[in-house]
Amino acid sequence: MHETTILLIEVGALLFALGMLGRLGRRFGLSPIPLYLLAGLAFGHGGFVPLSASEEFIEIGASIGVILLLVMLGLEYSAGELVGNLRAAAPAGLVDALFNALPGAAFAVLLGWEWQAALVLAGITWVSSSGVIAKVLGDLGRLGNRETPVILSVLVIEDLAMAFYLPLVTAVLAGVGLIGGLKSLGVAVVTVVAVLVVAIRYGRQISALISAKDAEALLLGVLGLTLFVAGVAEELNVSAAVGAFLVGIAISGPVAHHATQMLSPLRDLFAAVFFVFFGLSTDPADMPPVLLPALGLAVVTMLTKVATGYFAARRVGIAVPGRLRAGLALMPRGEFSIVIAGLAVASGVEPRLAPLATAYVLITVVSGPLLARLPDYDWFKTFVRRWGPPTRPKVQPLTAED
């Protein structure tokens, strides 16, 4: 009974503190993610107030948080939209992977890490934070801009790529080797293709099994199906996160819309716990030695994200200011980077990877939204007009006098 009482006190105090931190972050226009990571550092091993009774509870909550983050991402897209975006933005997605994954892998090699750690760091630097970027676009009033569909297409491709990348990394970190990893990748490819085919052809029938009118049945049905499929996927070494993402893709129509509304509070709750748990697993004493390397890596890969957005927007004929807005918006890393780093931490591949990833995400998730505001300043617009690449003049339509 005493342990239960301590558990309630620790979890209650932690959630209240997270609520205050989230409110503080939004007050200053910042993402709450770095504040949650800092809270984990403060309450973890080596922190100011270590949590003793609730660590196992928080670990379970963190696993649920990852699953909810991924199923909510899947609910944002239909299978048809995923396929369409993949075809239209495939060149930009390839450039995104090359520009942002290779620097991470090269950085790990320079540090003398094993190839498994290089594979993990490549994923950490590759994927942008869909949640942070969506919030930034909404806060800046850019959801209707011409470059926004380009940004979302890049994010969709990254989300889909994770369905193949995570099983490969999970298998490699489990010690099955490259061949075993390729086998897991093959299983993931077959699974993803099968789910997409089923979702495209039978998405309405699947969604019809869950009533959108009964709120209680909808919540229990979608949440239960997501946890079940995620567990089965984990058992098959395909990754629980990928299983949750595929469930989100398969659900469409009114059910997806209502499920998004009902699961959003749960996602916010457990996602916060997930970020705290990652902070808990990192000793603050390990942070100072990796701050400068993390800063250098962040500077390089934030510039490569700007290049990615610039290229993607240029392909569809967007002017220079829109290209820069696209590139600057893509800089923050967040949930996926932490998920990937968490896999490495659990496997014990490289002890310096967790503090490096924490510092890296903190740098990009704080500076990214701030730098995304640069195109709105007059001095920046003047600088781009004077020193930026020339923009083709718009063709004026012919008039009757012409």
pLDDT digits (tens, 9 = 90+) for 340-376: 888 887 777 888 888 898 889 889 988 888 888 888 8
Q: According to the model, what pLDDT value does residue 237 have?
A: 61
Least trusted range by pLDDT, from 51-55, 60-64, 213-217, 353-357: 51-55
Q: According to the model, what pLDDT value does residue 53 have?
A: 67
Q: According to the model, what pLDDT value does residue 394 have?
A: 43
Q: According to the model, what pLDDT value does residue 1 have?
A: 58
Asked if 66 and 241 count as a contact pair (C-beta separation under 8 A), the reply is: yes
**Structure confidence by residue, pLDDT tens digits, 78-108:** 666 666 666 777 889 899 999 999 999 999 9
Checking if the pLDDT of 168 tops 60, the result is: yes
Checking if the pLDDT of 380 tops 70, the result is: yes
Checking if the pLDDT of 328 tops 90, the result is: yes
Task: State the Cα–Cα distance between residues 295 and 356, nearest whole angstrom.
Answer: 9
Q: According to the model, what pLDDT value does residue 79 have?
A: 66
Asked if 14 and 43 count as a contact pair (C-beta separation under 8 A), the reply is: yes
Task: State the Cα–Cα distance between residues 124 and 118, nearest whole angstrom.
Answer: 10
Task: State the Cα–Cα distance between residues 134 and 129, nearest whole angstrom.
Answer: 8
Contacts of 330 (CB under 8 A, 6+ apart): 128, 133, 151, 154, 155, 305, 306, 308, 309
Average pLDDT for residues 4-16, to the nearest whole number? Answer: 85
Closest CA to 198 of 221, 229, 240: 229
For 40, the token pair is 């984990």
Taking the CA atoms of the chain, what radius of gyration do you get in angstroms?
22
The letter for the amino acid at 51 is L
Asked if 369 and 137 count as a contact pair (C-beta separation under 8 A), the reply is: no
Task: Say if residue 59 is exposed, middle or buried (CB neighbours under 10 Å; 0-12, 13-18, 19+).
Answer: middle
As a whole-number percent, the residues of the chain with pLDDT over 90 amount to 17
Q: According to the model, what pLDDT value does residue 392 have?
A: 53
As a whole-number percent, the residues of the chain with pLDDT over 70 amount to 86
Task: State the Cα–Cα distance between residues 82 and 74, nearest whole angstrom.
Answer: 10
Rounded to 5 degrees, φ, ψ at 114 are: -70, 165
Closest CA to 307 of 279, 287, 327: 327
Average pLDDT for residues 72-76, to the nearest whole number? Answer: 77
- Comparison of pLDDT for 216 and 335, the residue scoring more: 216
Rounded to 5 degrees, φ, ψ at 250 are: -70, -25
Task: State the Cα–Cα distance between residues 271 and 196, nearest whole angstrom.
Answer: 26
Task: Say if residue 219 is exposed, middle or buried (CB neighbours under 10 Å; 0-12, 13-18, 19+).
Answer: middle
Helical spans, DSSP H, in 209-287:
215-235, 240-250, 253-280
Task: State the Cα–Cα distance between residues 33 and 295, nearest whole angstrom.
Answer: 18
**Structure confidence by residue, pLDDT tens digits, 230-285:** 888 777 666 677 778 778 877 877 888 888 888 888 888 888 888 788 777 777 78
Task: State the Cα–Cα distance between residues 215 and 40, nearest whole angstrom.
Answer: 34
The letter for the amino acid at 131 is G
Q: According to the model, what pLDDT value does residue 110 have?
A: 93
Least trusted range by pLDDT, from 298-302, 313-317, 397-401: 397-401
Q: Which of 164-168, 187-191, 321-325, 364-368 has the highest mean pLDDT?
A: 321-325
Side-chain half-sphere CA neighbours of 169 within 13 A: 30
Task: State the Cα–Cα distance between residues 224 and 88, nearest whole angstrom.
Answer: 34
Task: State the Cα–Cα distance between residues 145 and 66, nearest whole angstrom.
Answer: 30
Task: State the Cα–Cα distance between residues 230 and 400, nearest whole angstrom.
Answer: 64
Task: State the Cα–Cα distance between residues 305 and 307, nearest whole angstrom.
Answer: 5
The letter for the amino acid at 346 is A
Checking if the pLDDT of 400 tops 50, the result is: no
Helical spans, DSSP H, in 111-214:
115-126, 130-139, 148-173, 177-208
Per-residue pLDDT band for 391 (boundaries 50, 70, 90) equals low
**Structure confidence by residue, pLDDT tens digits, 176-220:** 666 766 776 777 777 777 776 776 777 777 777 777 678 888 888
Q: Is the pTM for the entire model greater than 0.85? A: no
Q: According to the model, what pLDDT value does residue 153 have?
A: 82
For 324, the token pair is 């820069």
Q: According to the model, what pLDDT value does residue 399 have?
A: 47
